[in-house]
Amino acid sequence: MSIFKKVADFAKSPQGRRAVAQAKRYAQDPKNKEKIDRVVNKVKGRGKSH
């Protein structure tokens, strides 16, 4: 079974739906959104540090 299939199956489970809902709530907080954006930019190589 591929990793993507496992992730998809988890996301469809009750536990997975709770995790997705919790992640959405976390991402809606402006402070958390800023943290997420910084990490994404760092991973993409756009947020080069000093």
Number of domains composing the chain: 1
CA angle 28, 4, 26 (to 5 degrees): 10
Identify the domain containing residue 33 by its residue range: 3-47
Give the per-residue pLDDT at 8.
93
Give the per-residue pLDDT at 41.
92
- CA dist., res. 48 & res. 50, Å (int): 7
Q: Which two tokens stand for residue 23?
A: 């992640």
Tens of pLDDT, residue by residue over 4-41, are 999 999 999 999 999 999 999 988 899 898 998 899 99
pTM above the 0.75 mark? no
Q: Is 5 helix (H, G, I), strand (E, B) or coil?
A: helix
